[in-house]
Every structure is written in C-alpha cells, then in structure tokens.
Structure 1
Amino acid sequence: MERRAFRANGFAVLAGLLALGIAAAAAAQAGGMVLLSIAGIVWGVIAVVVATGFVVINPNEAKVVQFLGRYVGSVSDAGFLWVLPFTTKRRITLRVRNFETAKLKVNDADGNPVEIAAVVVYKVIDTATAAFSVDDYEEYVAIQSEAAVRHLATSHPYDAHEEGRTSLRDGAEVAAELTTELSDRTHLAGVEVLEARITHLAYAPEIAQAMLVRQQATQVVAARTQIVAGAVGMVQLALTRLAEEGVVELDEERKAQMVSNLLVVLCGDRATQPVVNAGSLYG
C-alpha cells in the first residue's frame, strides 16, 4: 500500500547546507589552513551525501522512494524537494492516460466472427502497487484490456434478435460492463479505469456481405410490420367513420373489397394508379 515518504523543501535544505559551509569556513579560519582544509573536506562529504536526496517532481507525477531495496514511501508534491539520501526514486506518472486496443477478431455469442476494438482511459491511484505488484503496469493494463474486450465480445451477440438481450451495439450498457470488468482486472496494479468504450465494431470481412443482407431483411420486415399495423388502423377508422356518419351503406362483400383496395394503396411500395368507375357500383 502507498504511504507518504519523508520530504523537506529542497531550497531550505540547500540554504542550510550553504550556511553550514560558510559557518564551518569561518570557524576554521582561526585554526589555520590545515583546519580549513579538514573543514572543507568534511563539508564536501556532507554536501555529497545531502545532494543524493534532492529530487524534482513535476505536476501529476510521483516518485516511489526505496532505500537499499526497501520501500520507504512515495512523494507526489510537485516542486524541488529533499528526501532521504542514498535512496532510489522511480518515476510514476499520475496523469490520465488512454490507449486504443488493436482490432481483435473474435466470435460473438452467436458464433459470428466480428472485429472489435476499444479505448481505455485510466490513471494510477496507488504508486506502490503499480511499482511493485506487476513488472510493468502499462503492459499489464494493455494485456488485461485485450482479454476483457475478448470476453465481452464472446458474451454478447453482435445484434440481439430477442427482446431483453444485450448486444454489442448497445453502447452504454456494453461500456459500463467493460469498465466494471477492467476495473476488477486492473485493481491489482494500482490502476483505476475511468472509462472503457468500444470504438470499432464490425462483422469480419468473410461474412460482412451476408450479414448486411440479413440486416436489410430484418429492417424490411420491421418496416413492413409497422406499415401494415398503421394501414389496418386507418382502414378501421375509415369504416367506422363511414358507418357513423351514414355516408354510404356497404354490405360485407363491398366492405371486403374496400378493405382490400385500401390495404393495397396503403401497403404498396409503389405509387398506385387510380381507376375511375363510371358505371354502377354493382355493375
């Protein structure tokens, strides 16, 4: 787990070091050149030791501090700081990062080959875990993202032909599911996934043409169903209004003929040509 390392203002430590050198030089001058040389050597050794603790930290950046292999804490305060000397400092960025996975070819839940890719937005929230729990947290996130996208593709169909079934084209639901799964997978690396969203989704080239025909047929059937439902409602309305207002009296045979004609006009995919009957209605 991450913890804060000891730190001090770098400029204050540097000023103290310079003040110590001036004081040592002033005190050693009374003892002659030998004492002055010894004071200079001692101050030089102290300066070298202290200098190993200076570190510059940029905004949205942290340094993981280790002393002889032991983790002593992390520093995330931006500026010129001083930490324990003889320590190693590993840089960890805290900036929000994003990357897009490669286009993966996977079979969906119905067994159809699809091409899918996603963009993942994440950031490091635990520098110690990111530094020591995995070899390379960036590579870890990339591999886990690919695995999560593959699992998502195999769990849902490209198109849902059943009511209540989630498909890969349901953007918000699929994005939420992918984000949740990735968060669980990358928690071990000290990473928080902010968002994961599909950026590319298509049938594989070998079946794309056949699936396009299937989609077109599905859309045609759905459109025809809507048209027929509307036409039946209009015919019912026409018969009801004619009967209520007594415009004309129709027997069952003529009602059937009228219904047939109206449905042809309303459901046809081409413009109808009117035919004027100049004779008797029953002739």
Structure 2
Amino acid sequence: MSTTTTSQTPENEEPAGPPEAAQARPARLIQNEATTEIPVHLLFRDDPDPVSLPLRPAVVARRQGTGEQPRFRRPLPAKPRPAPEVDPELVERAARVLPGTAGVLAGSCGLAGCLATSWWAGVLPPLAADALRLPVYAGAGLGPAQWAAYAGAGALGLFGFGGLARGRTGRAWVLGLFGRYRGTVRRTGLMWVNPLLLRRRVDVRLRHWRSEPMPAADANGVALRVAVLVVWRVRDTARATLGVEDHETYLRECVEAALTRVPVEPPGGAKGAAEPAVDALTRLVAADSGPVGIEVFSVQPLRVEYAPEVAAAMTRRRIATLDAQQRATMLTSVVDSVEDTVTRLTMRGLVELDDYERKALVKDLTVAFCSGRGEAAP
C-alpha cells in the first residue's frame, strides 16, 4: 500500500517560478495617505551612492489616528533687538560766529550812514544837525542815489544789530539755514550770529527729571506703579534737536520701555534688593537714548506702589504675612519662656511634678504667657 504525500503551499508563500517570471513581477510598494511610494527593496539597499535614485521624503505629514509622532522643527534663534540709529553725518560741530563788537560796529556804521544820507538829502532836522555839529547844507533832495544810500546803510545797520546774541552758561544755540544744520554755539557773552540762521536754544546743563507714576511689574508679574528719578543731560545738541522730534519725550518713552522689561522690587522688599533694578534700568535707558545725544547717569525708582486694581488684595496679603510672622515670633518666645520656667522650678527642687502635673503646668503657663503677650501687643 503506497502512501501519497501531498504538500500544500501556504497562502502567504508565493510559488516558486522561473527567474524570468520573478523579474517581470512588479515590486511591492508601501502607500498610504501620509507616505509616498517607496519600493521595498530600496529600504534595505546597501548601495552607498544615492545619487542615481533620488527619493522624496517618506513622511510628509502626521496622519491622524495612526499614532505617528510629529516631527518638531528646531526653534530659530531669537534675533537681536536692533539698536536705534541716527544719521551718522549728524554730529555736533562748532558754528562760526563773530565777537559782539563786530555786530555793534557794523550797526553803528549803518546808523551813521543813515544820518549822513539824511544830511546829504537835506532832510535832517536842525536840532539833530546842531547836536551832531554838522554844517548847514541845503541838501540835494531825495533822489535815486539817496535812496540807494539809505538802503545800503539801513541793511548794514539791521544786519549788524540783528545778529547780536547773548550766550549763557549751560545753554547752547543750534543753528540751521533752510533746513540744513550749520553748527552749534556754546560760547558765552555777547556775540554776533548770522541773522539769517534759525536758532534753537538747548539746555545742556545737568538735569533731574521726576516722572509721574508709570506702569511696571515685579518678578512675579504683579502690576506696580513706579515714579522714577532720571539724571541726564544733552551731550550732542545736533542729534538731540534734529535727530528726534522732542528729546525729552523720547527720554520719557525710553524709561517707560525699560520699566516693562526690568522687574522692580515691590513695596516692603528687602534692603539692597533694588540695586540690580537700578543698574539694569540705567543701562537700558542709556543704551536707548545714547544714539540721540542724551547721556543718562542714573534711573532710580523713588516711589513704588501697587496698581489700583491689585492694591487692596496685596495689602491684605502683606498684612496677613506680617501677622503670621508676628505670631510665629510670639509663639517661639512663649515656648522658650515656658521651658525656662519649668526647668528652673524642677532643677531647684521647688516642686516635684509627675508627667500629668508637668503637662498641666506647661498648659497653664502657655495660656498665661500668650494672654499677656496678646494684651501687650496692641
């Protein structure tokens, strides 16, 4: 009896065939909603040269419900804050002026020319002629030559007297002609400046500015109101006057911006804790206002208080903290006093106490000391 053995091919196993059939069969592909088509044999390719077979990225997005982890991009580094810049050619330089005697001399010459022209035209009053001791002259009348002499002498007098200016200590003049910067005058005393130039007076003295309460915050983000004292002066008059519209307003805005970036010590803070905030505020304000010709020496908070919307809550919190500290201090003092009393009574042999009596004595002494401290506290 012969036994016939039948071999069954599994469903998942492919039947063996000739090599030509295997080469003609298409390669297996992996394809779904979140991946591109990748041949299976390329996943395990040992060829190190990928140039001949360019591939696109497999996973292009996260498929919902598949459990695939998203690919997070590395955050880009923060860009540095750009520093304020002003026209580099706008730098303070000395203006050309003359001593005041030159203006007085030119004005006097113009006035004398007007008087001489009046005497020449015969329109000078007799009293003025007698006062000036001029000879009697009938005059040639007012003709074109006389009017030209009047115009020249009058222009010279106006140009001489109109350019006189008085320079003061701690003040400077910024001069401009038709919108162009012509220089700065820091001289003092009487001087002559071209009257056609536009003058802007600038205070270059050391100045103190006390601000109104400005919004700020502490290290925990609690809203505060801070009044600061700024010590500053104008170092470059050209940039302070022409670089910004109003350098005082610009300085105030720089202080407000610095207060939003630097945490301020809240009221009742530890002594010496405000020094880092003062240094940081001074450094930031000086860096922001330096390019416009303002030199800042100190930015110091004078009065720090909580904002109206949180003032009541923070006051209650502060009172509760002080009360807790006082109670802890009083309790420590009472416990020390009770311990010292019981120890002295026992060591000197004044009383002999068992555990129950010791506990009762400690309780009574604690109540008595706490009541005494509570009455004496107010």
TM-score computed with the length of structure 1 as normaliser = 0.69
What amino acid is aligned across from residue 100 of structure 1 in structure 2? S
In structure 2, stretches of 5+ residues that fail to align are: 1-90, 121-138
Whether 1:118 and 2:227 are equivalent positions in the alignment is yes
In 1, Cα distance between the equivalents of 2:103 and 2:271? 67
In 1, Cα distance between the equivalents of 2:299 and 2:217? 24
What amino acid is aligned across from residue 63 of structure 1 in structure 2? W
Which residue is equivalent to 1:202? 306
Partner of 2:227: helix, strand, or coil?
Answer: strand
Which residue is equivalent to 1:13? 102
How far did residue 183 of structure 1 move?
A: 2.7
Compare CA radii of gyration and give the structure with the larger one.
2
Matches within 5 A, 1:207-222: 207-222=310-325
Percent identical among aligned pairs is: 25
More helix by share: 1
Which residue is equivalent to 1:223? 326
How far did residue 140 of structure 1 move?
A: 0.8
In 1, Cα distance between the equivalents of 2:204 and 2:303? 25
More strand by share: 1
Matches within 5 A, 1:190-269: 190-193=293-296, 194-205=298-309, 207-239=310-342, 241-242=344-345, 246-251=348-353, 253=355, 254-268=357-371
Contact 1:124-1:190 at 8 Å conserved across structures: yes
How far did residue 137 of structure 1 move?
A: 0.8
Partner of 1:178: helix, strand, or coil?
Answer: helix
TM-score computed with the length of structure 2 as normaliser = 0.54
Q: More displaced, 139-148 or 13-22?
A: 13-22
Which residue is equivalent to 2:127? none
How far did residue 177 of structure 1 move?
A: 4.1
In 1, Cα distance between the equivalents of 2:342 and 2:212? 60
Contact 1:116-1:198 at 8 Å conserved across structures: no
Contact 2:114-2:154 at 8 Å conserved across structures: no
What amino acid is aligned across from residue 82 of structure 1 in structure 2? W
In 2, Cα distance between the equivalents of 1:116 and 1:179? 18
If asked which structure has higher relative contact order (CA below 8 Å, sep 6+), I would say: 1
Call closer, same or farther: CA 1:221–1:67 in 2, change over 3 Å.
Answer: same
Contact 1:51-1:85 at 8 Å conserved across structures: no
Which residue is equivalent to 1:98? 209
Call closer, same or farther: CA 1:165–1:78 in 2, change over 3 Å.
Answer: closer
How far did residue 225 of structure 1 move?
A: 1.5
Q: CA RMSD in A?
A: 4.0
Give the length in aligned residue pairs: 258
In 2, Cα distance between the equivalents of 1:130 and 1:195? 19
Contact 2:211-2:228 at 8 Å conserved across structures: yes
Which residue is equivalent to 1:279? none
Partner of 1:123: helix, strand, or coil?
Answer: strand
Call closer, same or farther: CA 1:85–1:213 in 2, change over 3 Å.
Answer: closer
Partner of 2:209: helix, strand, or coil?
Answer: strand
In 2, Cα distance between the equivalents of 1:56 and 1:87? 15
Call closer, same or farther: CA 1:42–1:228 in 2, change over 3 Å.
Answer: same
